[in-house]
Amino acid sequence: AVDGKRLLIGGQYLRVPRGTTLRVDLDLDVLGEQSAVELHQDVFLDGRLQFEREDRELRAGERWRLSYEIGVPRDAGQLVVQLYATTVSGDVATIQFHDARLTMTAGDATSDAVLVIEDAVSRSVPR
């Protein structure tokens, strides 16, 4: 990409039945000598932006956990979940995933409200 933005996770264009609750869980570390990345995560349903987390900057040695739920009150023909990274500083940054999960639970969701469960940066635990 011209702007240095790289797609790390791309959506599968899944069909989602009415009443479903979507849950996204991301847990990742940034590794690399004095490196920093900026992360951008979004979700689209039928071409409409449902959730967006922009400008989450992580430096080497930091871990980011993001978990949230979105209700799907009507049938959706196209679910897209994406995560992008842009290098902010440093020559090489490694992004190590501990979890990257999309869970769809059938139910009776009547609202497309977003519930953010966690959006936190902490120090990575050395292995």
Task: Summarize pLDDT for 41-63 with one digit per residue, the tens.
Answer: 999 999 999 999 998 999 999 99
Q: Could you tell me which residues are beta bridge partners of residue 96?
A: 29
What whole-number percentage of the chain has pLDDT above 70? 94
Contacts of 2 (CB under 8 A, 6+ apart): none
Segments of the chain assigned E as strands: 5-9, 14-16, 20-31, 36-45, 48-59, 62-72, 76-89, 94-105, 114-123
Share of the chain above pLDDT 90, in %: 73
Most distant pair of Cα atoms in the chain: their distance = 48
Of 11-15, 70-74, 86-90, the range with the highest mean pLDDT is 70-74
Question: What pLDDT band is residue 127 in, cutting at 50, 70 and 90?
Answer: low
92 confidence band (pLDDT: 50, 70, 90): confident
Mean pLDDT of 64-84: 95
Residue position matching structure tokens 């290098």: 87
Q: What is the mean pLDDT of the chain?
A: 90
Q: What is the DSSP secondary structure assignment for residue 3, as one 8-state letter?
A: T
